[in-house]
Every structure is written in structure tokens, then in C-alpha cells.
Amino acid sequence: MVDRPNKPSALAATPQQPIAQASVNIDSAAGRVTATLPTGESVDVLLHGATVISWKDASGDEKLWLSEKAILDGSKAVRGGIPLVFPVFGTAPDHAATSKLPQHGFARISKWEFLGKSTSESKQSGSSAEDTNVKLDFGLSSSSLDEKTRALWPYDFDLIYSVTLERTNLVTSIVITNKSAEAFEFEVLLHTYLRVKDINNVAVEGLEDSKYIDKVDGASTKTQSSSITITGETDRVYTPAKGPSEPVVVTEGGKKALSVVRDNFTDLVVWNPWTEKAASMADFAPKDGFKTMICVEAGSVKAFQTLEPGDAFEGAQTLYTL
């Protein structure tokens, strides 16, 4: 065998490109956590109430409505975004366990703990692009409540709230665990404010043939005959006729804009304050902001849920851009 002093060396292995990772920024001073995907989508969550205050697509378009006068310093609930309602929806003067709690309970006005992040990457079929998802976990427990709130609702519990950002959707899920020696009753709702261009061109589809409580009309029970359009103050609690996995779709100008899919939530609230109600709320701005928002809210609020000692309840919603 001839020894060739100038023989070519072995080819070097082609270096693999590093997988792009989602970035997560924790701003302790502002009390917020921001996550951004490599493709540009982002979500912003306040530790106050674990309130999602922003969700943007890759082009930077905001999907959630936030009042220009929303108070973000932790002194009161946030007007807009996705406030978390627990353990009571509205007020319940006839329900002894929650009758003395503030409107919509204490979860949205409590300081939550950021428990950490997790990310995942999955190869798209037939493409070299990477899908990167990021999940942010937040926690609230009975031990973190102040003495006044503990006195008003003296049950032991753990709440884990997860916000998962994906390229085309946002998933918000909650796990409620009863750590008391006795059962407790609760209601829970994801009070989602969606941003729209013009409420006059908006319709909500997928609730046809569904029964609802019309809170603007003396809490009378009605049945939805067609898609929902907003022409005045609207405050309705729907029990969807179709299953939770059936999308409820928000359209603008006849085009699908966004859909809501529920998981283990029995109800859906549709709300818009319109002119007079918007004018009466000090933190609602601009006053004609009702023209660019609609609330479509997944939850279980038509009746109290009973959670036995040691048991857990889990519910979620997924918001899809269309």
C-alpha cells in the first residue's frame, strides 16, 4: 500500500444549527413575566392576579384588549387581558361561603408566585423549521393569602395556573386542589377580553341552539337562535349545546378571526358593556373602547362546583388565531 503524504484529511462533520429557544424575561420590579418565541409571538403575564395582559402574533398584532386606564401596580384588578375569576363569579350574597368575598373573588387581586418555565421543540412535517412552545407556571395557595381573605374563605387549597404560548394559539389552564379536610364549593372563569377592529362587524358563532341566562334582561333564560351580534349592553352566561371541544368562533366582517375551545369548562360568558356601562367604569378607557373589544369567557359559573378533600379540578381554554 502506497503511503501518500498529501492524502486528503477526513471530512469534518457538518455542524448542526442550534435549535432556537423561546426567551423568558422576569421583571421583578414590574412584577411581570414575558415570553417570546423565536418566530416573534409573545405573551406578557402580571404576577398580580397571574393576569395575561398581552398576547401578540408574529407580526406584533395584539390579540387581547387592555384598557388604557388599566391599573397594573397590584392595587386592584386589571381591566382587560385575561383576569382569573375564583372562587366566585360576580357576587353571591345567598351563598354563605363566598357571600363576603369581593366581586369575582380573590385570585385576580392576589400576588401569584412564578413557578418556572418549560419549553418544547417539535419538527414540522416536511419542513426544516422548528416549532418552539413555552409554558409558564404560576401558583397561589391558601398560605399566601392575607389574614383578612383567609378569614373570609378559610379553606386550604392550591392553584396552579399555566400559560402556554404556541405559534398559532394560547392555552390557559388551571388546576384547583382541595387540601382541606372538608369539601368546598367554587366557581371559576377565564375573563378573556378579545381585541376586535369594530364591534359592529363582529359575530360569535358556535352557540346556536344554546340556552343562556340574560343578565341584562332580569336573568331570564333564553335560547340562542343564530350567531351572536352585539348591538347594546350584553351579559350572557351560555351553556353551549355542543361539546367543549367544539370551537366558538369570533368573526369580523364575515371572516374568521379567532376561536375558543374549552376543556372541562361547562359555560361560556359573552360580555360587552356598551355605552352607559363603559362610561360608569373609572378604569375603562377610552370610553368608546367597547367598540374594539368583546369578552368570550370560558368557565364553570352557572352553578357552584363541589370539590371533595384531596380532589382536584382542571379546566382549560385554547385561543386559536385563524
CATH number at residue 141: 2.70.98.10
Active site (annotated) includes residue 276: no
Is residue 168 a contact partner of residue 58, using CB atoms and an 8 Å limit? no
95: containing domain? 24-321
Question: Is 143 strand, coil or helix?
Answer: helix
Neighbours of 312 (CB within 10 A): 14
**Domain-embedded: residue 297:** yes
pTM above 0.85, yes or no: yes
Confidence at residue 126, expressed as pLDDT on a 0 to 100 scale = 41
Q: How many domains does the chain have?
A: 1
**Domain-embedded: residue 16:** no
Confidence at residue 243, expressed as pLDDT on a 0 to 100 scale = 87
DSSP secondary structure string for all residues of 163-179: EEE-SSEEEEEEEEEE-
In one-letter notation, the amino acid at residue 2 is V
Cα(first)–Cα(last) distance of the chain, in Å? 67
Single out the catalytic residue among 41, 48, 104, 297: 297
Confidence at residue 10, expressed as pLDDT on a 0 to 100 scale = 44
Residue-wise burial string across 112-146, b where 16 or more C-beta atoms lie within 10 A, e elsewhere = bebeebebeeeeeeeeeeebbbbbbbbbbbbeebe
Helices in 35-163 by DSSP H: which ranges?
147-152
**Domain-embedded: residue 15:** no
The CA-based angle 244-108-31, given to 5 degrees, is 120
**What values do phi and psi take at 105, rounded to 5?**
80, -165
Cross-strand partners of 305: 186
> Rounded to whole angstroms, how far apart are CA atoms 284 and 81?
12
Helices in 69-207 by DSSP H: which ranges?
147-152
Confidence at residue 131, expressed as pLDDT on a 0 to 100 scale = 78
103 labeled part of a ligand binding site: yes
**Domain-embedded: residue 192:** yes
Cβ neighbours for 84, distance < 8 A, ≥ 6 positions apart: 49, 50, 51, 107, 108, 161, 174, 188, 189, 190, 191
Active site (annotated) includes residue 191: yes
Question: Is 61 strand, coil or helix?
Answer: coil
> Rounded to whole angstroms, how far apart are CA atoms 144 and 139?
10
Confidence at residue 7, expressed as pLDDT on a 0 to 100 scale = 44
Question: Is 43 strand, coil or helix?
Answer: strand
**Domain-embedded: residue 205:** yes
Is residue 252 a contact partner of residue 200, using CB atoms and an 8 Å limit? no
Strand ranges across the sheet with 169-178: 113-123, 130-141, 157-165, 169-178, 312-321, 255-263, 248-252, 202-205, 228-229
**Domain-embedded: residue 2:** no
| Residue-level pLDDT, tens digit, the chain, 322 residues | 444 445 444 444 445 555 678 999 999 999 999 999 999 999 999 999 999 999 999 999 999 999 999 999 999 999 999 999 999 999 999 999 999 999 999 999 999 999 999 998 654 444 334 578 999 999 999 999 999 999 999 999 999 999 999 999 999 999 999 999 999 999 999 999 999 999 999 999 999 999 999 999 999 999 999 999 999 999 999 999 998 889 999 999 999 999 999 999 999 999 999 999 999 999 999 999 999 999 999 999 999 999 999 999 999 999 999 9
Single out the catalytic residue among 95, 191, 208, 233: 191
> Rounded to whole angstroms, how far apart are CA atoms 101 and 88?
8
**Domain-embedded: residue 188:** yes
**Domain-embedded: residue 311:** yes
Is residue 170 a contact partner of residue 318, using CB atoms and an 8 Å limit? yes
